[in-house]
Amino acid sequence: MSSTVGTAPSRPVDSLEGRRGMRMSDFVVREAVLPSLRAASKEEAIREMVASLRASGHIKASEEESIVKAILKREQLATTGIGRGVAIPHTKHEGVDRLVGTIALSEAGVPFDSLDNQPVHIFVLLISPQDRPMEHLRALDNVATHLRDDLFCRFLRQARTREAIWELLQEVDQTVRR
């Protein structure tokens, strides 16, 4: 016998049925990919990545500072430097009407208050609309799937150009079921 205690959620349940795999190329902006960050601090890294998205035309210049501050505020709640040289800084922001993101690499590594106290070499920055939490979760699912792959991380860190990074993303995108 099985019983359910408590009241049902007032909003529709996010069902596993009908979900689809999201690809890196669905949200990573090719023109905003940074193969070599100049940043030496958490704030500089976030500013550099957001500026790259603004320069690519995917966020408005008028929203840039607000988005940077929102990401920094999120970092104050808990670091997104999850260890193994990886960080996923992100925010939900009204300044975007679709999920956008970028990937940035730092050969020297950036201090990021990571859980393992190690510098970050791989950044995946995400900016999501405020009203689409499942889209945000799908992007995190995609990013987590690839960042758990040591070989992917190794090849990513070896990439020296935007084109080389994009080719690698396209390669892993082919493994996503749609």
Partner 1 sequence: MNAEPNLTVRTTGLSQPALPGAPGTSTMPSDSYRRTIVIRNPQGFHMRPAAALAAAARRFQSQATVIHGDRRGNARDILSLLMLLAGFGSEVTLEVRGPDAAEAVEVLAAILGAEEPPDPVPPTPVPKKG
CB of 75 vs partner 1, minimal distance in Å: 10
Instruction: Please give the Cα distance from 95 to 97 (Å, whole number).
Output: 7
Instruction: Please give the Cα distance from 135 to 21 (Å, whole number).
Output: 10
List contacts with partner 1 (CB under 8 A).
Answer: 1-9, 11-14, 16, 19, 76-80, 82, 88, 90, 92, 115, 133-134, 136-138, 140-141, 143-145, 147-148
List the alpha helices (DSSP H) in 39-161: 42-55, 61-77, 133-147, 150-158
Instruction: Please give the Cα distance from 21 to 129 (Å, whole number).
Output: 19
CB of 83 vs partner 1, minimal distance in Å: 8
CB of 43 vs partner 1, minimal distance in Å: 14
- DSSP type of residue 28: B
Q: Catalytic annotation on 121?
A: no
* Burial class, 38, CB count within 10 angstroms (exposed 0-12 / middle 13-18 / buried 19+): exposed
Instruction: Please give the Cα distance from 26 to 139 (Å, whole number).
Output: 9
Nearer to partner 1, 88 or 168 (CB): 88
CB of 174 vs partner 1, minimal distance in Å: 19
Nearer to partner 1, 11 or 178 (CB): 11
Nearer to partner 1, 1 or 62 (CB): 1
Query: Which residue of the set 58, 90, 121, 136 is catalytic?
Result: 90
Nearer to partner 1, 51 or 153 (CB): 153
- List the one residue out of 21, 50, 6 whose CA is nearest residue 175: 21
Instruction: Please give the Cα distance from 14 to 29 (Å, whole number).
Output: 27
Residues marked as catalytic:
90
